[in-house]
Every structure is written in C-alpha cells, then in structure tokens.
C-alpha cells in the first residue's frame, strides 16, 4: 500500500460524496421534527436503529432500515447519483475505464445469497480507506471485528457482543518466548486483523504484531516487524502446515513478507521484495506463495526460499 498525495485527494473526493449522505440525514431529521423517534427506529448519525430481519425485507423494508418513503429521493435515484459522483481511487490513471470495457455483463435475477439480518449495532472501525481486512467470520455464527481500539466477537445467533482484546492502553505478552517484545505496545492502531484456528493476530500501522489464542487469557506474543518509517502491516494470513503447526504470514509496507511459527513463537522466514507487499496467500499444499503489492506484476514464489517462480500480469493495485 503506497503513500501518495493522491491518497489525500481521494479522501477529499470521498467526503464530497458524503455531503449527499449528510443531506439525506438532515432531511430525515427535519421531517421527524428533530427528535429521536422510537417508532421510526432510525437515527443514522447516532446509530440507533433496530435490526432488519429477513421477514421485514420480504415485506419491502429496506435491508439497511433506511425509510426511503419519507425522503425526497428514491433508493434507485440515490444509487444513480452515487455512481455518477463517487470517484474511485486508482493507482493507475483510467485503469477502471479500461477494465469496464473488458468486463462482460452478466445475467441478473439469479439468487446467490439470501439476506438474513442487518444489525446496525455491529459496526467495524476502519482507519485507512484501503486497509479493510478488519472483519473475520470463523463460522456461520461467529464474527470478529475491530471497533475503535477493541477486537469484538459477535454471535449472529444470540446477537451478543463481547470484547476479546483491547489495545487502547498498554498491551504486553503474559508468556515469555524468544523474540517476543516483552514491553509490548501502547495504543496500537490496528491496520489488519486475522482470526483462524483459535488464533487472533492483529497488525499495526507501526509494524506491530499482537497474537492472542482465543482459549488462553491475555496475549501470548508481541513483535515489531520493522522500525522502518514505512512500516504498515497490510495483511495477515493464518494457515496450518501439513504437519499441523499453526503459522501466519505478515505482508508489510517495508517490502517484506514474514512467516511466523506459532508453535515455537518465532520468525521462521523473511523474504524481501522491491516494492511494498499488500497481501500474501499460501497455496493449499503449502509449497507456493502468491504475492501482490505496489507493482503491476504479481509474484508466484517458492514458500520455503522466496525465489520467484513466475511473474503474472493483469493485476491492478487497489
């Protein structure tokens, strides 16, 4: 993930589109006389709205709970306005226009997913517009997400929330392992999150890595991958080796890919590439890594040596 002036320009453009959202909110409050109505169940800014169920959606209620019938704009018109005004961020100028010409239109009408519930009380906090790997579902009913400085678990069965990890203050490992940063971190801003195989890994904007096993109290392992100025942890991928050991790879803006063995709590491999790495995924057999970053070409590499096996093109940075 690169740092460019265009990032700030994109954010400004995004806020211009937010003006349309604000106008819609203002109109709704005026129509409600400026009060919080228990009957209407809607307060967009204060996040006071009941869940929308599948039964309500089938009866015609908007799945987000937005009362379009009381606004001067329809959902279709609002969607059209957003598509016309929203400026999507592009690392490569006009890359979106080129892709639109290549994309084939698909038939509409098929049902691939069925709406179950929308809960406005469950909201992930996103600190950077590009870094959105902050929500993980470990089962059909268990969801983990970042909310400000907390990792929250939410059950879709009970609709209950519970805090799993809080990084607003000082966080330090309660276990001692070689290579673990015993002094820990303070007020970590989490840039990426992964939860799998009973392991939670949170990566930070300053190269922090915080590891917690869900069935153990406290934090098991802390590490700072780099003290480089460009240290953002862009992505974390947890996997199990053929031998059954739990590992994870961390993709970083310092151009590094690091593999950590969580059985031994230590760094097992560190590969370096010519550009910031945005994401790394391991093949099912554990032999290959696919790596993408701030480059038009992606890499297929040997997972043990880091040696590049194949370059593939057609990838556009996000």
Q: What is the radius of gyration, based on Cα positions, of the chain?
A: 22
Between these two residues, 222 and 65, which has the higher pLDDT value? 222
Q: What is the pLDDT of residue 10?
A: 46
Asked if residues 155 and 26 have their Cβ atoms less than 8 Å apart, the reply is no
Is the pLDDT at 204 greater than 80? The verdict is: yes
Tell me how far CA of residue 214 lies from CA of 28, 151, 217, in angstroms. 42, 12, 8
Chain center to CA of 244: 27
Q: What is the mean pLDDT of residues 228-236?
A: 94
Segment 166-193 shows an average pLDDT of 95
Whole-number pLDDT of residue 27:
63
Average pLDDT estimate for 244-252 = 96
Q: Residue for token digits 């080796």?
A: 241
**CA–CA separation, 57 vs 53, rounded Å?**
6
Greatest alpha-carbon pair distance for the chain in Å reads: 66
Separation of alpha carbons 142 and 199, rounded Å: 14
For 122-312, the fitting CATH number among 3.40.50.620, 3.90.1150.10, 2.130.10.10, 3.40.50.720 is 2.130.10.10
Q: Please determine, for residue 167, whether its predicted confidence score (pLDDT) is greater than 60.
A: yes
**Six-digit token string for 65:** 């709970």
User: For residues 192 and 229, which has the higher predicted lDDT (pLDDT)?
Assistant: 192
More confidently predicted of 142 and 86: 142
In the predicted structure, residue 199 carries a pLDDT above the cut 80: yes
User: How many angstroms separate the CA atoms of 293 and 9, rounded?
Assistant: 21
Cα dihedral 254/256/259/260 (nearest 10) = -20
pLDDT at 20 over 60: no
Stretch among 29-33, 149-153, 270-274 having the lowest mean pLDDT: 29-33
Using pLDDT thresholds of 50, 70 and 90, give the confidence band for residue 30. Answer: low
Nearest to 276 by CA among 295, 289, 298: 295
pTM over 0.85: no
Output the pLDDT for position 32: 54
Identify the band that residue 2 occupies on the pLDDT scale cut at 50, 70 and 90.
low
pLDDT single digits (tens) 45-54: 444 457 899 9
Query: What is residue 31's predicted lDDT score, i.e. its pLDDT?
Result: 57
Domain-wise residue ranges, the chain: 5-92, 122-312
Neighbouring CB atoms inside 10 A of 289's CB total 23
CA pair distance 45, 72, nearest whole angstrom = 19
* Mean local confidence (pLDDT), 165-185: 95
Mean pLDDT of 287-316: 90
Burial of residue 316 (CB within 10 Å: 0-12, 13-18, 19+) is: middle
Q: C-alpha angle 237/268/291, rounded to 5°?
A: 40
Query: Measured between alpha carbons, how far is 7 from 91 in angstroms, rounded to an integer?
Result: 9
Asked if residue 15 has pLDDT above 50, the reply is: no
Q: How far apart are CA 141 and CA 201, in angstroms?
A: 20
């Amino acid at each position: 993930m690169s740092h460019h002036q265009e990032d700030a320009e994109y954010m400004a453009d995004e806020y211009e589109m937010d003006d349309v959202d604000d106008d819609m909110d203002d109109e709704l409050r005026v129509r409600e006389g400026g009060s919080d109505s228990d009957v209407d169940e809607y307060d967009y800014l204060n996040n006071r709205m009941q869940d929308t169920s599948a039964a309500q959606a089938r009866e015609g209620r908007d799945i987000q709970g937005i009362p379009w019938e009381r606004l001067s704009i329809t959902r279709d018109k609002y969607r059209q306005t957003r598509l016309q005004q929203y400026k999507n961020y592009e690392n490569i100028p006009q890359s979106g226009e080129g892709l639109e010409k290549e994309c084939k239109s698909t038939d509409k009408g098929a049902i691939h997913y069925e709406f179950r519930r929308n809960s406005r009380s469950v909201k992930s906090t996103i600190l950077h517009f590009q870094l959105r790997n902050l929500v993980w579902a470990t089962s059909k009913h268990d969801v983990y997400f970042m909310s400000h400085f907390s990792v929250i678990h939410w059950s879709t069965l009970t609709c209950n929330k519970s805090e799993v990890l809080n990084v607003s203050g000082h966080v330090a490992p309660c276990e001692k392992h070689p290579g673990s940063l015993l002094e820990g971190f303070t007020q970590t801003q989490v840039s990426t999150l992964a939860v799998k195989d009973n392991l939670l890994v949170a990566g930070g904007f300053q190269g922090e890595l915080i590891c917690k096993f869900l069935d153990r109290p406290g934090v098991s392992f802390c590490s700072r991958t780099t003290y480089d100025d460009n240290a953002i942890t862009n992505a974390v991928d947890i996997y199990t080796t053929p031998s059954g050991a739990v590992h994870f790879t961390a993709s970083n803006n310092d151009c590094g890919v690091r593999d950590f063995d969580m059985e031994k709590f230590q760094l097992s491999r560190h590969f370096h590439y010519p550009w910031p790495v945005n994401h790394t995924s391991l093949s099912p057999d554990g032999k290959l890594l696919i790596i993408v970053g701030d480059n038009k070409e992606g890499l297929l590499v040997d997972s043990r040596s880091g040696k590049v096996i194949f370059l593939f093109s057609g990838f556009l940075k996000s």
